[in-house]
Amino acid sequence: MDLLATTSAVAVSSYALLSTVYKSAQALYARPASPAPLRDDPGQAEVALPSVDVIVPSFNEDPNTLSECLASIASQDYAGKLQVHVVDDGSANRDLVGPVHKIFANDPRFRIILLAKNVGKRKAQIAAIRSSSGDLVLNVDSDTILAADVVTKLVLKMQDADVGAAMGQLIASNRNETWLTKLIDMEYWLACNEERAAQARFGAVMCCCGPCAMYRRSALALLLDQYETQFFRGKPSDFGEDRHLTILMLKAGFRTEYVPDAIAATVVPDSLGPYLRQQLRWARSTFRDTFLALRLLPELDGYLTLDVVGQNLGPLLLALSSLAALAQFVIGGSIAWWTLLTIAAMTMVRCSVAAFRARDVRFLGFSLHTPINVFLLLPLKAYALCTLSNSDWLSRKVVNVTTEGEKKAVIPHATTGISSARSGVSSGATRKPGLSHRPSSLPATERVCGRDRSTAYK
C-alpha cells in the first residue's frame, strides 16, 4: 500500500510540475497575433491578390449542412479569383445531395466533381488539387461554415512566402445542443487560442486543422506525392491527413500559422459514442505523426520540445497516478487524497486562467472535462497506442440519411442568394445572419482536427 501511495503521489506531483511549467509557457506565448498589414493601394491590391481554390470533399453529407457550407463559401468577400471544387466521394445519398450540387453548379465559381466510388477524404482532396491551378488551396470540411472574411484573412497571412500553411479558429456550430457540445466548444477554444496560438509564435503550428486550412500550392506541389502515399507499418494511412500534411510542411522548411480572427464553425459530436470514436482515431493519428515530428524538434525553438513533452509525458504521468490511486482504493480501501486534491487544484487553476483569458465565466464549467479525461480518454489513448496499425475510420460503416421531418440542429451561417431552410434546400432571398467573431470556444490540444458522424467521414 505504501508503494502504491508513493507511486501515485510522485506521479501526480511530477504531472503538476510539468503541467505548471508547460501551461505557464503556453500562456506566455499564446498572445494575440498582430494582424497582417493591409496594402496601401486598393487598385494594386486587386491585381496582386493570389487566386484561391477551395476544396470541399464530401461523403454522405446531409444536404442542408452541405448547402450551408457552400453558401458560406459563395458569400466570401475576397476580391481575388475564387474557384470552389466540391468533390462528392462516391456518396450513397447522391440523389439527396444532387439538388444542392445543381444549385451551386449554376455559379461559375463552382465545379462539382462526382467520383464513381469512395476513395477516401485524402484522395478526394488530391483529385481536386491536381485538377486545379490556384496560387493557394483552402481545404474546407463539408459541415463547416466560414465567416465571410475567412479567405481574405488567411490570404493576408499567406503573403509571407515562407508560410506554407495557415489555419483559422474553429468553433462548435452546435455548441448549445448538449452538455458535451458545450465542453467540446470550450475544448476547441483552448486548443486554438492556447496551444495553436503559442505554437504560431514560432511559426510551427503542429496541426493545421482540416475544417479550415489554407496551403501554398507551390509547397503542395513538392509534398503531394508524400502526402498521398503515407504508410504506417506497411499499411496505407488514410486518416489524420491534416496533421500529416502540416508535419510535411514543417519538414520542408515552411512556416505554419494560426489566424485567430478567421472564424469557422463546424459540427462536433453531440454524444459520447461518436466523440470517443473520433478521439480514438485522432489519438492514433497523433501518435503516428508525433514520431515523425520528433525529428523536427532540433531545428525548432525549445518551446516546441516542451510542447511535445507536455502533451505526451503529461498524460502518461496522470494515467500512472490515477491507476496507482485506483489500485490503492481497490486493494486497501484507502483514498489517495493527495492525488485527488492535486488534480482538482490543477483543474480549477486551468479553468480559472481560461475564464480570465477568454473573458467568459463558462470556462469554469470545463472542469467537468477532467473526469472524462481521466476515466475515458486516458484509457482510450492507451488502447490507441496499442492499436496504431488499425486504420479503420470507425465512422463510415453505415449510411444513415436523415429523413424529412427529423429534428436537425440549427447552424449559424451566411448565404448569398441561396436559402437552405432546415426543411429542405431551395433558392430564395439573401440572408446573412453571419458568424459571431467572439473569442469563441474551441480547445483540445491534439483533439481539434476533425469530427465524427456516422454519415460522413469526419
pLDDT at 292 over 50: yes
Contacts of 50 (CB under 8 A, 6+ apart): 80, 134, 135, 136, 155, 158
> pTM of the entire structure?
0.84
Q: State the pLDDT at residue 400.
A: 43
The residues facing 169 across adjacent strands are: 263
Provide the pLDDT confidence category of residue 293 given band limits of 50, 70 and 90.
confident
Strand partners, 86: 56, 112
- Among 440, 439, 448, 437, smallest CA distance to 414 is for 437
Q: What is the pLDDT, as a whole number, of residue 35?
A: 53
Report the pLDDT value the prediction gives residue 433, as an integer from 0 to 100.
35
pLDDT in tens, 428-451: 333 333 343 333 333 333 344 444
Q: Domain-by-domain residue ranges, the chain?
A: 31-268+433-447
> What pLDDT does residue 436 have?
39
pLDDT for the residue 228 = 87
Give the C-alpha distances (Å, rounded to integers) separating 190 from 152, 214, 355, 396: 24, 21, 10, 29
Query: What is the CATH number assigned to the segment(s) 31-268+433-447?
Result: 3.90.550.10
Q: Render pLDDT for 245-259 as a digit per residue (tens, 0 to 9).
A: 999 999 999 999 999
pLDDT digits (tens, 9 = 90+) for 11-21: 999 999 999 99
pLDDT tier, 233 (very low <50, low <70, confident <90, very high otherwise): low
Q: Which one has a higher pLDDT value, 380 or 39?
A: 380
pLDDT over 80 at 215, yes or no: yes
> Does position 1 have pLDDT exceeding 80, yes or no?
no
pLDDT value for 448? 46
Residue 46 identity: E
What number is the average pLDDT over the span 197-205?
A: 96
Q: How do residues 117-137 score in pLDDT, each as one tens digit?
A: 999 999 999 999 999 999 999
207, 243 contact by CB (below 8 A)? yes
Residues whose CB falls within 8 Å of the CB of residue 90, separated by 6 or more in sequence, listed in order: 59, 115, 116, 117, 118, 119
31 confidence band (pLDDT: 50, 70, 90): confident
| Mean of the per-residue pLDDT values of the chain | 85
Q: What is the mean pLDDT of residues 181-189?
A: 97
Per-residue pLDDT of 305-341, as tens digits, reads: 999 999 999 999 999 999 999 999 999 889 999 999 9
Q: Say if residues 2 and 318 touch (Cβ distance below 8 Å).
A: no
Q: What is the 3-state secondary structure (H, E, C) of the chain?
A: CHHHHHHHHHHHHHHHHHHHHHHHHHHHHCCCCCCCCCCCCHHHHHHHCCCEEEEEEECCCCHHHHHHHHHHHHCCCCCCCEEEEEEEECCCCHHHHHHHHHHHHCCCCEEEEEECCCCCHHHHHHHHHHCCCCCEEEEECCCEEECCCHHHHHHHHCCCCCEEEEEEEEEECCCCCCHHHHHHHHHHHHHHHHHHHHHHCCCECCCCCCCEEEEEHHHHHHHHHHHHCCEECCEECCCCHHHHHHHHHHHCCCEEEEEEEEEEEECCCCCHHHHHHHHHHHHHHHHHHHHHHHHHHHHCCHHHHHHHHHHHHHHHHHHHHHHHHHHHHHHHCCCCHHHHHHHHHHHHHHHHHHHHHHCCHHHHHHHHHHHHHHHHHHHHHHHHHHCCCCCCCCCCCCCCCCCCCCCCCCCCCCCCCEECCCCCCEECCCCCCCCCCCCCCECCHHHCCCCCECCECC
Q: Would you say how long the chain is, in residues? A: 458
As a whole number, mean pLDDT of residues 213-226 equals: 95
pLDDT digits (tens, 9 = 90+) for 394-427: 554 434 444 333 333 333 333 333 333 333 333 3
Percentage of the chain modeled with pLDDT above 90: 71
Average pLDDT over residues 263-278: 96
Q: List the grid coordinates of 316.
A: 502518461
What is residue 332's predicted lDDT score, i.e. its pLDDT? 86
